[in-house]
Amino acid sequence: SLFRLKDLEVPKLGDSDVHVKMLAAPINPADINMIQGTYAILSPLPAVGGNEGVGEVLEVGSRVSALKPGDWVIPADSGLGTWRTRGVFPEEMLLKVPGDIPVLCAATLSVNPCTALRMLTDFETLAPGDSVIQNAANSGVGQAVIQIARASGVKTINVVRDRPDLPQLVERLMALGADHVVTEEMLRKPEMKDIFKSTPKPRLALNCVGGKSTTEMLRHLQPKGTMVTYGGMAKQPVMVPVSAFIFRDVRLRGFWMTQWRKDHAQDQESVAGMMDTLCRLIQRGQLTAPACTEVPLQDYRAALEASMKPFVSSKQILLL
């Protein structure tokens, strides 16, 4: 196994450091990929896994002004190594979040909801009544897209893989505010016309699957619409019919949250604005944590195994 639970000394607190007691940290697919070495970031080994989570500040160095003991913090960037009970981090690696939001919302805030918000705002200017189509709609990003879109009056057409518990999944996504939930097979069916009687054709498509799913989704995109690819779960290329380019002038773009953070490292206003928007949605009850299974740290092996099973609709969260 690549993983071991180890006891380490907590390093000395430097002037610009913050001593954090971790509260909760999720296991995301990218965390596993990073450890397997199949991700675009490689950590020097031995490394602590985990890119996301929430902690409470225990003490701060003499030069730290923005944080104080008792504050809640989340990683400002990937690679922090959140699967630990305590850590000492430079102040600039942490972002303060309100302490009155649910712990699971804070623990799952820095990756999926940020990705969802950026993709909904950075590629097309969507107005209330517009629509967006997405595949893997039951993923963490998918669930956040549904809720953020709903809060701004944008309709969602949500594509999921067919599965044994499909009715329960449809019900769960509708409860989050999905307007339509369809299977990949339905994308090819004439019934799709019924959806477009009440909902306009989407100007934006969000793809994290690739392969046939993407090509089918693209057929429903409006002329001059944009498809943003942020993942490739099918491990197949994105295939686009030539006609979609020539006759509909569709745009194909890519998005990676880690790159956005790099590009905006000096732009604290954008980052603060994004976190503020998301935290307000959470405080208003318009954005919830994805379905979670809470696992104590010592059961990490079971949690890692569970996170790699197909059709998992619940995110494993390590309680630290």
Three-class DSSP category at 212: helix
Three-class DSSP category at 43: coil
Cα end-to-end span (Å), the chain: 21
Instruction: From the candidates 39, 232, 277, 297, give the one annotated as an active-site residue.
Output: 39
In whole angstroms, give the CA distance from residue 104 to residue 119. Answer: 22
Phi and psi at residue 100, in whole multiples of 5°? -100, 15
Rounded to 10 degrees, what is the CA torsion of 145, 149, 151, 152? 150
- Nearest CA-CA partner of 45 in 87, 99, 94, 3: 3
Active site residue 39: yes
Find the angle CA(170)-CA(172)-CA(177) to the nearest 5 degrees. Answer: 95
Phi and psi at residue 19, in whole multiples of 5°? -90, 120
- Nearest CA-CA partner of 109 in 224, 281, 248: 281
**Residue-level length of the chain:** 320
Residue 243: Cβ within 10 Å count:
10
Reply yes or no: is the peptide bond before residue 113 cis, omega within 30 of 0.
no
- Hey, which residues are catalytic here? 39
